[in-house]
Amino acid sequence: MTISADHTAQDPATNDPASGAPTQSHSTEDAASEAVRKFGITVEDYMLPARHQIQIVGPDGTLNPHTEQGAQPGHEYTLPGDEDLVAAYEQLVIGRRVNDQNSALVRQGRMAVYPSSHGQEACQVAAALCLSQGDWMFPTYRDSVAVMARGVDPVQTMTLFRGDWHGGYNPAEHKVGIQCTPLTTQLLHGVGVAHAAKLRGEDTVVLAMCGDGATSEGDFHEALNFAAVFHLPVVFFVQNNQYAISVPLAHQSVAPSLAHKAVGYGMAGERVDGNDVVALLAVLGRAVKLAREGSGPLLVEAHTYRMQAHTNADDATRYRQDSEVAEWVAKDPLSRMNTYLAGRGLLDDGRAAAIAEKAEAVAAQLRDGLSEDVPVDPQDLFKYVFSTPTAQLKEQSAMLADELAREEAAK
Ligand SMILES: Cc1ncc(C[n+]2csc(CCOP(=O)(O)OP(=O)(O)O)c2C)c(N)n1
Ligand SMILES: [Mg+2]
């Protein structure tokens, strides 16, 4: 495939500038040629994902030889610093403990539903750690560990999944969108925030997250196209865990990779081993940096695996083989990082024990917080939907008030 750098791009700025449309063209060619100048690479090298997934630490916990890291022109990545690696490992251990604890709380009836990210913790952790304080994250229902790693209180994070509120935290306070169940609506929210930030002259980057199945949604197309045309600082992060509930990737897309979808929108795509937190930190870190520097949006696809059922309401044994799951046990993100750090002398027994203790404290916090029966006000259903409630909502709210009053009187 050849991408020409020298044909004249259509100027998307025929729109009314007052609408916020770009007043000068920011085409694929602009972003790519800038990168070509900056990195001395070809346009293809900039736009297309690496020939192989970027991997820095292999499943056995050893550093890959340089050539196997996907180190082709335009795809060289630097190893994150030691402190960042240990911090990531700590979050991996906490994330795994959170996944196991939440699954147990569902079985105990303390939570309505939990889409576990067991096996995907490296993606979760890197998503949070690659962002600066002023950046925004737009997570899916599966990204609770990423939300917590970003600093949202664990119990507040899980309030949504207890089923008694729309969400437990203030998105504006944490710069984290509410975890979305309707697939890919959050990508549009993220693009909107990035657009607003750009108009205000802020240097905010938005990390907009979705799954492999979600890439088939119309909203995915609209979000990517809008972000590319308006040259917005968005990193689209696709966690390809191979399934959309029971639908395997092969029935979802026959693109060479999901990262290749980027080029059709005029943005660069990259693919990375989603169970290698070191590679994820490097790839997402660079994508965020490029987006902040004005390179426009980028797409990162992480290859990972959902080790457990879609949610507690799903039976994964009906559509996949145990042998397939076993193959991914060998690629576990935690054990490879443990081996790698221990081998480099960055993790001894004392440090590992201190990390495990922190993870236990978070699990205890979840058990305590989610075992409390919090009184809920049914009228909350109608609050906070619109700043000025619609006539229909007012009517429904009055009907509910009447019913509750009659129930009370009948006691
Ligand atoms: C708009 C919309 N369509 C369908 C669904 C039903 N649904 C819930 S999860 C899911 C699969 C999504 O798969 P993927 O994007 O790969 O994310 P994963 O669950 O694997 O993390 C579907 C189809 C939904 N929630 N929203
Ligand atoms: Mg999936």
- Across the 411 residues of the chain, what is the mean pLDDT of every consecutive 10-residue run? 31 40 52 72 86 94 74 84 97 98 96 96 98 98 98 96 87 95 97 98 97 98 98 98 97 96 95 98 96 95 97 93 96 98 96 97 97 88 89 96 95 89
Tokens encoding 291: 């987006």
Q: Which residues line ligand 1 (CB under 6 A)?
A: 142, 181-183, 210-214, 241, 243-245, 306, 310
CA angle 174, 180, 181 (to 5 degrees): 155
Query: Is 3.40.50.970 the CATH classification of the domain at 17-371?
Result: yes
Q: Burial of 382 by CB count in 10 Å (0-12 exposed, 13-18 middle, 19+ buried)? A: middle
CA-proximal residue: ligand 1, atom 25 (nearest): 182
**161-172 CB burial, b ≥16 within 10 A, e <16:** bbeeeeebbebe
Instruction: Please name the residue ranges forming H helices in 212-259.
Output: 218-229
Round to whole Å and give the CA distance between 253 and 238. Answer: 13
CA-proximal residue: ligand 1, atom 19 (nearest): 244
Q: For 100, phi and psi rounded to 5 degrees?
A: -65, -40
Round to whole Å and give the CA distance between 259 and 168. Answer: 33
Domain boundaries, the chain: 17-371, 378-409
Helix (H, G, I), strand (E, B) or coil at 298: strand
Round to whole Å and give the CA distance between 114 and 102. Answer: 7
Give the DSSP letter of residue 254. -
Ligand 1 atom showing the smallest separation from residue 310 Cα: 19
Round to whole Å and give the CA distance between 261 and 224. Answer: 10
- Strands 243-244 and 136-138 come out as unpaired
| Most ligand 1 atoms within 8 A of CB, residue of 245, 246, 247, 301 to mutate | 245
Q: What is the arrangement of strands in the sheet containing 268-273, beginning at the earlier edge strand?
A: 136-138, 206-211, 234-240, 298-303, 268-273
In DSSP notation, 38-101 reads HH---HHHHHSPPSS-B-SB-TTS-BPPGGGGT-STT---PPPPHHHHHHHHHHHHHHHHHHHH
Ligand 1 atom showing the smallest separation from residue 217 Cα: 1
Which amino acid would we find at residue 172? A
Q: Which of 147, 305, 144, 301 is nearest to 236 (CA)?
A: 301
Ligand 1 atom showing the smallest separation from residue 252 Cα: 16
Instruction: Please name the residue ranges forming H helices in 346-390.
Output: 349-371
Ligand nearest to the CA of 245: 1
Ligand 1 atom showing the smallest separation from residue 210 Cα: 15
Q: Burial of 292 by CB count in 10 Å (0-12 exposed, 13-18 middle, 19+ buried)? A: middle
Q: Residue 183 Cα, ligand 1 centroid: separation in angstroms?
A: 5
Q: Residue 244 Cα, ligand 2 centroid: separation in angstroms?
A: 4
Q: Residue 156 Cα, ligand 2 centroid: separation in angstroms?
A: 25
Cβ neighbours for 62, distance < 8 A, ≥ 6 positions apart: 339, 340, 343
Round to whole Å and give the CA distance between 172 and 384. Answer: 14
Q: Which of 91, 139, 65 is nearest to 281 (CA)?
A: 91
Q: Report the pLDDT value the prediction gives residue 72, as an integer from 0 to 100.
A: 77
Q: Residue 184 Cα, ligand 1 centroid: separation in angstroms?
A: 9
Round to whole Å and give the CA distance between 243 and 83. Answer: 34
